[in-house]
């Protein structure tokens, strides 16, 4: 009887297994999931650890993360120390030899991207939560999105050489669509070039440079440090002096200070979406930009745009 | 099964925490200084912050000595402020120390990079990603502290339960108080780094309260506390896996549920007798 049951289980497993096993990919953020899906198509199974509405600097470990990392063929990270607070311990604990020691199963998506605010010298402790390798919010420039997708396609092809042509053709199609979309986004933002804004965290340098916004200040006195009264007062004065009418906030920060600042300075608070999955309907990399640009167009129309 | 592989280390850490905290908890509840662990943990965190601003690494060996040094200062403070006849309850002083050291850490950390991030790190801990090396080192340390308490169990119990009698018998209550708070501080500093303040607090208080519900003497109370702590550690870790919740929070909630059940059993039992 036991033998029959074993045989039955083996048969059903064999029947359930796909002809070719899919590559199991785990990403740290949903932006990377979206990009991996674009190039990996149906040849990969991909899921993200952090949700788009969570601050990727902080992630609370759950058992399922360890299980997913354990079984992963590939882990894709944003890098530049964005995940330094939580990912190393999880990878260590997953005991997955493919991921440990940055082996073949670990991909830092930032390679070759245009990284801003890279530090040459040592970072002083007085400067706040500064990432010495550069600003880790680089995925908010579509050009970098194209490079990241190419990085992912390259590594997927190494891991599954038989599918390399498939990944290549998907990558090319994605990059073509992205270039077209980026042109239309730039066209829409062109009337607003040079508009001054304040942001909560320093998450938007790549986005601002690409679409011509000028970030003149931050609600945080230093990155990762909560707002203090003297900094907030200085910020309000600076906003009034320079005519800043818009404050951009990430969804995971407390809106109290930005709301107070905007009341004082006569500005509008806009909750932008810094990651795929961070707002209703932002399901892929294209909709991430669509969503944010639509919000910005609306608020610039309301506040009078570039004046 | 690979699942067990992941859950084994947190469970083992839970057992070690139960071992020492269920015992120390009896003292703490007996003395009525429930929040002393929070205060000592906060002082230890303040020590790490001060050391960090003085130039040591946050997670290196230097940081540990800073936090330990501050813990000793805190232990001295708590043993000196325990008055024989005072209108000010000891718990009030502990509360003040907690609030001031917490605020001082926040203020100091605002001058440091990754302020909030590291402060959270120090007090939250993460029992899910505890390594076997940490489990081993902690077991060794707690073994030494436990042995110390077992050798001097007469003195330690007397100053906690009946300080007046200890004085009559010529014990230096201040000295033994200081030794108690020092050993307690050493344990709490290490526990908080592994499991975080909330979880350590639960391991300290809930098993001993549960023991008090059903037993009068120290031995039975300890056995009850240890059984409850071990059972809750297992159930909490499994619950965290089954419902995919953060492990520390799952264990704390399990402690709450288990104490409710224990209280229910107690009511039924006393209704019958």
Residues in B touching A90 (Cβ below 8 Å): 129
Chosen from B6, B121, B125, B240 to mutate, greatest number of chain A CBs within 10 A: B6
CB contact under 8 A, B113 and A128: yes
Q: What residue ranges do the domains of chain B occupy? A: 2-264
* Minimum Cα–Cα distance from A128: chain B residue: B113
> Is residue A63 within 8 Å of B2, Cβ to Cβ?
no
CB contact under 8 A, B117 and A129: yes
Q: How much is the mean pLDDT over chain A?
A: 88
Q: Under CATH, which architecture does the A190-303 domain have?
A: 3-Layer(aba) Sandwich (3.40)
| More confident: B56 or A261 | A261
| More confident: A60 or B28 | B28
Size of interface A-B (CB pairs under 8 A): 77
| pLDDT tens for each residue of B117-139 | 566 666 666 888 888 998 999 99
| More confident: B67 or A31 | A31
Task: Look at residue A8 in the predicted model and tell me its pLDDT.
Answer: 56
Question: Is the pLDDT confidence value at A253 over 80?
Answer: yes
Task: Look at residue B117 in the predicted model and tell me its pLDDT.
Answer: 58
Choice among A10-14, A91-95, B182-186 with the minimum mean pLDDT: A10-14
What is the C-alpha to C-alpha distance for residues B20 and A193, in angstroms, rounded to an integer?
63
Task: Look at residue A1 in the predicted model and tell me its pLDDT.
Answer: 55
Q: How much is the mean pLDDT over chain B?
A: 87
| pLDDT tens for each residue of B163-173 | 888 889 888 88
Task: Identify any residues that bridge with A247 across adjacent strands, giving them in sequence order.
Answer: A198, A269
The shortest C-alpha distance from A58 to chain B (Å) reads 8
Task: Look at residue B86 in the predicted model and tell me its pLDDT.
Answer: 73
Q: Do domains A23-109+117-184 and A190-303 have the same CATH topology?
A: yes
Choice among A122-136, A203-217, B95-109, B181-195 with the minimum mean pLDDT: A122-136
What is the C-alpha to C-alpha distance for residues B200 and B11, in angstroms, rounded to an integer?
14
Of A60, A66, A225, the CB nearest to B115: A225
Of A57, A64, A130, the CB nearest to B244: A64
Residues in B touching A226 (Cβ below 8 Å): 110, 115-116
What is the C-alpha to C-alpha distance for residues B96 and B107, in angstroms, rounded to an integer?
16
Chosen from B11, B13, B113, B133 to mutate, greatest number of chain A CBs within 10 A: B113
| More confident: A35 or B56 | A35
- ipTM higher than threshold 0.90: no
Task: Look at residue B5 in the predicted model and tell me its pLDDT.
Answer: 79
Q: What residue ranges do the domains of chain A occupy? A: 23-109+117-184, 190-303
**Over residues A114-128, mean pLDDT:** 67
Instruction: Categorize the per-residue pLDDT at A307 as very low, low, confident or very high, splitting at 50, 70 and 90.
Output: very low
Task: Look at residue A6 in the predicted model and tell me its pLDDT.
Answer: 58
Q: Assess B128–A contact: CB distance below 8 Å, yes or no.
A: yes
**Over residues B212-230, mean pLDDT:** 93
* Minimum Cα–Cα distance from A83: chain B residue: B117
Task: Look at residue A121 in the predicted model and tell me its pLDDT.
Answer: 58
> Is residue A44 within 8 Å of A25, Cβ to Cβ?
yes
Of B5, B111, B113, the CB nearest to A129: B113
Question: Does CATH number 3.40.50.2300 belong to domain A23-109+117-184?
Answer: no
Of A67, A92, A226, the CB nearest to B3: A67
Task: Look at residue B109 in the predicted model and tell me its pLDDT.
Answer: 76
Instruction: Categorize the per-residue pLDDT at B45 as very low, low, confident or very high, splitting at 50, 70 and 90.
Output: confident
Task: Look at residue A306 in the predicted model and tell me its pLDDT.
Answer: 47
> Is residue A195 within 8 Å of A131, Cβ to Cβ?
no
* pTM of this structure: 0.81
The shortest C-alpha distance from B256 to chain A (Å) reads 20
**Over residues A183-197, mean pLDDT:** 95
Q: Assess A62–B contact: CB distance below 8 Å, yes or no.
A: yes
Question: Is the pLDDT confidence value at A144 over 90?
Answer: yes
* Minimum Cα–Cα distance from A132: chain B residue: B113
Fold of B2-264: ABC transporter involved in vitamin B12 uptake, BtuC (1.10.3470)
Of A62, A93, A126, the CB nearest to B245: A62
**Over residues A237-254, mean pLDDT:** 93
Among A213, A216, A217, A205, which Cα is nearest to A186's? A213
Choice among A285-294, B77-86, B213-222 with the minimum mean pLDDT: B77-86
Task: Look at residue B123 in the predicted model and tell me its pLDDT.
Answer: 61
Task: Tell me how crowded residue A88 is: count the other CB atoms within 10 A of its CB.
Answer: 11
Give the helix/strand (H/E) hosting A44. strand A44-48
Task: Look at residue B65 in the predicted model and tell me its pLDDT.
Answer: 86
> Is residue B150 within 8 Å of B270, Cβ to Cβ?
no
Instruction: Categorize the per-residue pLDDT at A187 as very low, low, confident or very high, splitting at 50, 70 and 90.
Output: very high
Chosen from A62, A63, A88 to mutate, greatest number of chain B CBs within 10 A: A63
Chosen from B129, B131, B135, B236 to mutate, greatest number of chain A CBs within 10 A: B129
What is the C-alpha to C-alpha distance for residues A45 and A156, in angstroms, rounded to an integer?
12
Residues in A touching B128 (Cβ below 8 Å): 61-63, 66, 93
Residue A166 is encoded by which pair of tokens? 């498939």
Give the helix/strand (H/E) hosting B74. helix B61-80
| pLDDT tens for each residue of B232-244 | 999 999 999 999 9
pLDDT above 70 coverage of chain B, percent = 91
Residues in B touching A80 (Cβ below 8 Å): none
């Amino acid at each position: 009887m036991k033998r029959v049951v074993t045989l039955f289980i083996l048969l059903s497993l064999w029947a359930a297994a796909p002809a070719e096993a899919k590559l199991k990919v785990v990403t740290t953020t949903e932006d990377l999931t979206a990009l991996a899906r674009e190039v990996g198509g149906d040849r990969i199974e991909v899921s993200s650890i952090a949700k788009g509405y969570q601050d990727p600097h902080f992630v609370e470990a759950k058992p399922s993360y360890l299980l997913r990392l354990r079984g992963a063929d590939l882990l894709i990270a944003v890098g530049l120390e964005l995940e330094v607070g939580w990912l190393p311990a999880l990878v260590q604990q997953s005991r997955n030899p493919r991921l440990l020691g940055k082996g073949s199963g670990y991909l830092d998506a930032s390679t070759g991207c245009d990284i801003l605010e890279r530090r040459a010298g040592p970072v002083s402790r007085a400067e706040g939560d500064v990432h010495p390798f550069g600003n880790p919010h680089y995925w908010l420039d579509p050009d970098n999105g194209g490079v990241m997708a190419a990085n992912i396609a390259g590594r997927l092809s190494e891991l599954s050489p038989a599918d390399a042509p498939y990944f290549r053709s998907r990558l090319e199609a994605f990059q073509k669509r992205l270039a077209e979309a980026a042109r239309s986004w730039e066209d829409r933002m062109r009337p607003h070039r040079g508009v001054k804004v304040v942001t909560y965290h320093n998450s938007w340098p790549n986005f601002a440079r690409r679409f011509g916004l000028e970030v003149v200040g931050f609600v945080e006195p230093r990155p990762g440090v909560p707002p203090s009264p003297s900094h907030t007062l200085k910020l309000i004065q600076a906003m009034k002096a320079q005519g800043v009418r818009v404050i951009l906030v990430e969804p995971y920060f407390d809106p109290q200070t930005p709301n107070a600042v905007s009341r004082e300075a006569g500005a509008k608070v806009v909750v932008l979406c810094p990651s795929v999955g961070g707002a209703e309907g932002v399901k892929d990399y294209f909709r991430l930009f669509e969503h944010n640009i639509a919000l910005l167009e609306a608020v610039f129309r309301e506040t009078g745009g570039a004046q | 099964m690979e699942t067990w592989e992941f859950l084994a280390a947190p469970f083992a850490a839970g057992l070690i925490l139960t071992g020492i905290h269920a015992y120390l908890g009896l003292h703490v509840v007996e003395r009525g200084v429930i929040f002393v662990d929070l205060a000592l943990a906060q002082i230890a965190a303040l020590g790490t912050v001060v050391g960090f601003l003085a130039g040591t690494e946050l997670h290196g060996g230097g940081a540990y000595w800073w936090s330990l040094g501050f813990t000793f200062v805190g232990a001295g403070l708590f043993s000196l402020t325990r008055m024989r006849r005072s209108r000010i309850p000891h718990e009030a002083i502990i509360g003040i120390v907690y609030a001031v050291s917490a605020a001082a850490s926040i203020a100091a950390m605002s001058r440091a990079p990754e302020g909030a991030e590291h402060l959270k790190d120090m007090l939250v801990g993460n029992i899910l990603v505890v390594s076997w090396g940490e489990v081993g080192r902690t077991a060794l340390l707690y073994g030494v502290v436990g042995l110390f308490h077992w050798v001097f169990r007469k003195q330690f119990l007397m100053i906690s339960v009946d300080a007046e009698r200890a004085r009559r018998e010529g014990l230096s209550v201040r000295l033994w108080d200081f030794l108690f708070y020092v050993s307690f501080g050493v344990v709490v500093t290490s526990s908080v780094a592994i499991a975080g303040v909330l979880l350590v607090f639960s391991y300290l208080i809930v098993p001993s309260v549960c023991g008090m519900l059903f037993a009068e003497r120290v031995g039975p109370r300890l056995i009850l506390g240890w059984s409850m702590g071990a059972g809750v550690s297992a159930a909490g870790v499994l619950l965290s896996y089954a419902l995919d919740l953060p492990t520390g929070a799952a264990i704390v909630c399990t402690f709450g549920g288990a104490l409710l059940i224990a209280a229910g059993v107690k009511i039924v039992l006393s209704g019958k007798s």
